Amino acid sequence: MEVGTVFMGTPQFAVPILGSLLRSPYQVVAVYTQPDKPAGRRQRLTPSPVKELAMEHKIPVIQPNTLKSAEVVPDLASFKPELIVVAAFGQILPREVLSLPKFGCLNIHPSLLPQHRGPSPVAASLLCGDLLTGVTIILMDEGLDSGPILAREKVGIAATDTTGSLTAKLAHVGAGLLMDTLPKWLKGELEPQPQDEPQATYSRLITSKDSEIDWHLPVVELWQRIRAFNPWPGCYTWWQGKRLKIHSAALVSRLARGEVGKVIALRQPPKVGVVTGDGILGLCQVQLEGRHEMSIADFVRGQRNFIGSILGSDRR
């Protein structure tokens, strides 16, 4: 069934979903994505991952600063979309856009709605210590991820998962779920189910201000934060006046002993830990400012005075 489809998405999460549409019988007539943004040390304008894929397939790419400007709806209408598919687009769709396609606007959201609505659902799942997350496809309304549900699929969260690894899992699950759901939706075989509003929770926007580690926090919370903020914005502490990024860590003990922030040797892997507010957090992968990421074992071999030092005490 050929259905003129407009896709709206921006980050890597949206790429497998767009890819599934491009391999399907559905005709992607245009792709909407965020404007190119400066990236890297030289701050060169860089296209979004979605734009790069669309250009490879010679799909028209539109990059509006906002969907609320007067010319957006006529321009969108010119593509005659029968369906709009949204995955992490990064903008709210106004009523005029929502009412345009015959089959509505479907959003692929990486959480089990109504939990973790909003901009950072994957990180929120890790910060909350969830053991289970998933993907939800909704028929969009004017609210924030509040539309009725068409389909959901659960995904388990591993103890080693980060926002990066979990987002990749959810993207592929979302792509498959969309392909399973679209035929039923287009044939009128699905009845949208309203979300359980009293159970709704909201994720917050993650910023670079979340990066610095406070070793007085509980060990479980620190472990969750390091996983949730990987790959961005990352978690760091201070050592000898330089930033020390903690890429991965492990729960070692929920019994604290010693001065908060003190680096101690451990008998069990990962062999090096830090005293926190209520336990010991093991360090696995670290990166000193100006250096490459390395295992804690390699780092300690080159920095003999690391054990016994107090992290965060010499913040510049």
CA angle 190, 90, 227 (to 5 degrees): 95
In this predicted structure, what is the pLDDT of residue 238? 97
Which residue's structure tokens are 């019988």? 25
Query: What span, in angstroms and rounded, lies between the C-alpha atoms of 112 and 134?
Result: 5
Residues 6+ apart with CB under 8 A from 136: 108, 109, 111, 112, 113, 149, 151, 152
Average pLDDT estimate for 301-307 = 95
Question: What SS3 class is residue 13?
Answer: helix
Q: What is the pLDDT of residues 229-285, one digit of tens each?
A: 999 999 999 999 999 999 999 999 888 778 999 999 999 999 999 999 999 999 999
Contact 110, 123 (CB under 8 A): no
Domains along the chain with CATH numbers = 4-199 (3.40.50.170), 208-302 (3.10.25.10)
pLDDT score of 220: 97
Longest dimension (CA), the chain: 67
Which pTM does this prediction carry? 0.95
Q: Does 315 score more than 90 pLDDT?
A: no
Residue 241, sorted as left (phi over 0), alpha (psi -120 to 50) or beta, turns out to be left
| Tokens encoding 80 | 């005659």
The pLDDT mean for the chain works out to 95
Terminal CA-to-CA distance of the chain, rounded, Å?
61
Over residues 2-39, the pLDDT tens digits come to 899 999 999 999 999 999 999 999 999 999 999 999 88
Closest to 272 measured CA to CA, from 247, 302, 299: 299
Question: Measured between alpha carbons, how far is 74 from 158 in angstroms, rounded to an integer?
Answer: 46
Residues 144-165 have a mean pLDDT of: 98
- Token pair recorded at residue 186: 């287009």
231: cis peptide before it, omega within 30°?
yes
With a cut of 80, say whether residue 40 has pLDDT above it.
no
pLDDT digits (tens, 9 = 90+) for 173-227: 999 999 999 999 999 999 999 999 999 999 999 999 999 999 999 999 999 999 9
> Which band of pLDDT confidence, cut at 50, 70 and 90, is reported for residue 48?
very high
